[in-house]
Amino acid sequence: MRQKLFILLSVLGMALTGFAEDVVFKAQAPAQVIVGRPFQLTYSVNQRSRDLRAPEFTDFDLLAGPYTSTSSSTSFVNGHRTSSFTQTYTYTLMAQKAGTFTIAPATVKVDGENVQSNGVRITVLPEDEQPAGQSNSGAVQQSAGRSNSEAVQQSEGRSSGDNLFVRTIASKTRVHEQEALLVTYKLYFANVDVAQLTNNTKLPEFTGFLKQDLEQGEIQTELEHYNGRNYQTAVLYRTILYPQHSGDIKIDPAHFEAVLRVQTRSQARSIFDDFFGSYTNVTKMITAPGVTIHVAALPSGKPAGFSGGVGKFSLTPSISQTELQTNDAVTIKLDITGAGNMKLLKTPAIDWPEGFEPYDPKVTNNFKTTTSGVSGTKSIEYLAIPRSAGDYTIPSVKFSYFDIEDKTYKTLSTPEYTIHVKRGAHDQSPITNDQSQMGNVTSYTHKEDIKQLGSDIRYIDTKPLKATNHKSQITNYRHIWLFYVIPLILAVVILVVMRKQIKENADINRVRYKRANKVAQKRLKAAASALKANDKDRFYAEIESAAWSYLSDRLSIPTAELNKDNIASILRHKGVSDSLIKEVMDVLSTAEFARYAPATDHAMDDLYANTTNLINHLEDQKI
């Protein structure tokens, strides 16, 4: 009685749970089928149903169905009972012709209410031009009675050529510099059993490209009609490439290793041997061919602010406040949004007015990599603190890029911001009329407290003077004069040196020129430390900063105008040889994209040595 009561309660609980759940009515079918080959279309519902009304299968032949089946399950986990129920309707169909077709939704009644399923989209592939079944059956008959090794060799022969291969598929073979292209390695196989792919894979170096790999999930197969045959296909590897120079760039062949499951047959000794046979794993190396990418140089007429951006971008500026007090911070934010070589975009520079103390900009990258390239937003926050009151104008910031769709250069700019700065409560610096009207900043005047250093009245000594030797007294007077003359001479010398130093410091270009090598050596020292610690990201960041900052200081190029074209033009104007200019361009290109491209320790050593030698050669030029 207890068992019967328990079963009755379970059935009642399942029924109540089933009616409490939302009704799910779903249609399923293969995404790809082949003309003349049967496939199944199933409709499943999670509650008891009746009166299925299927659509008209106008583009398919109905071979059988519908067959109805039900399944249910109940489980108890930690005292909680869960149950499920499924009712399935199955049709067997066969496609009449190749194409892409949609099967309309079906309807079914659940608890007296009509419930509609989803529609199904199916791609129908044409039949093989030469059916594989004919050659395979002959091969099986010929392999009967042969030794295992002979059967394996014959199966290996069938697995090569048209039955098993990897294609190198480039989304486009003609691009511009920095234009993204997708390279896919895709496995095709038919009439072979691919058990697995090994880790013995050798991909090309992709020399001349910046590489951004796409995430590869679990390998899944699907049907594809290629060169008159239907294959099972699987994507093995995908990557986004950005060419770094013009010309024809060759991508070398790739190598993949697969394990094939091959059936072997020996002379049958019993009915079971003839029925089951045996299998052997065979390792097969598959080579994907190389491909040549034709890269066109970016057209002439580059804008002054162009720094290598290629793609499609938009610029959204904002400012935190336009009225503030001295020593308060103001923030300007730029959001560069779009798709293209996002990781190579340089940070635009803001020409802050004199009297503002700027800080290094904060850059936040929110990128995602898809088959169409890298897209997202590069957010840049510039922070500065005004130290004097007045009205200031922050000039427009320009961002130029090459539009890959229109094949033209485009320049985006921010508005000019007018900022009114009031003197803060604790600001002791004075404001002149010129400063308040024109925004010029006066020198700071620091006040010091006056301190009493000693008594200002001295008592007169009434004791009689002792007799002294006049000759020795004259000698002492001469020594006393030296104490006046020597400090005066030192003061004149110090004044001359300081005036010379002030004059030199006033020449910003000369200051940058003199400090260029010192700053570069400091960066190189940090890069050497990162190289020793095998910190690749920090190494490439320091190397890139060393090269660009050295050239900016040495050639007196503002950060906003710093690009390869300007550098090459100024070096050529200063009489630097073409070979040294080429060395400069090579180091800049390598340092620019090496941090995102695959690199070995040897390549890092070479880049460090080349950068050091380049700076030494430019120092010898006395430019």
Architecture of domain 508-621: Up-down Bundle (1.20)
| DSSP H or E run through 159 | helix 148-159
521-559 pLDDT, tens digit per residue, is 888 888 888 888 888 878 888 888 888 888 888 777 776
113-132 pLDDT, tens digit per residue, is 888 899 999 999 988 876 54
What end-to-end distance do the CA atoms of the chain give, in Å? 104
Q: Give the pLDDT confidence score for residue 139 in this predicted structure.
A: 37
Under-50 pLDDT residues of the chain: 17-20, 132-159, 432-457, 459
Q: Give the pLDDT confidence score for residue 130 in this predicted structure.
A: 61
Closest CA to 392 of 333, 443, 323: 323
d(CA 401, CA 378): 14
pTM of the model: 0.59
* CATH of span 308-438: 2.60.40.740
Q: Give the pLDDT confidence score for residue 439 in this predicted structure.
A: 39
**Degrees (nearest 5) of the Cα angle 217, 220, 226?**
125
The β-bridge partners of 403 are 311, 408
| Backbone phi, psi, residue 399, to 5° | -130, 115
Q: Which residue has the tokens 């065979």?
A: 282
Domain locations along the chain: 2-125, 132-296, 308-438, 508-621
Closest CA to 442 of 354, 534, 347, 312: 354
CB 197 within 8 A of CB 219: yes
Closest CA to 400 of 539, 544, 560: 560
DSSP state of 449: -
Task: Measure Cα distances from 259 to 194, 197, 256, 281, 534 in Å.
Answer: 6, 6, 10, 6, 36
Q: Give the pLDDT confidence score for residue 451 in this predicted structure.
A: 39
Residue 115, both tokens: 């419930």
Decide yes or no: CATH 2.30.40.10 for domain 2-125: no
d(CA 330, CA 353): 13
d(CA 359, CA 287): 53
Q: Give the pLDDT confidence score for residue 171 in this predicted structure.
A: 92
| DSSP H or E run through 364 | strand 362-370
CATH topology match: 2-125 vs 308-438: yes
Residue 451, both tokens: 């301190």
Closest CA to 404 of 315, 342, 335: 342
Q: Give the pLDDT confidence score for residue 496 in this predicted structure.
A: 82
Q: Which residue has the tokens 């390598």?
A: 590
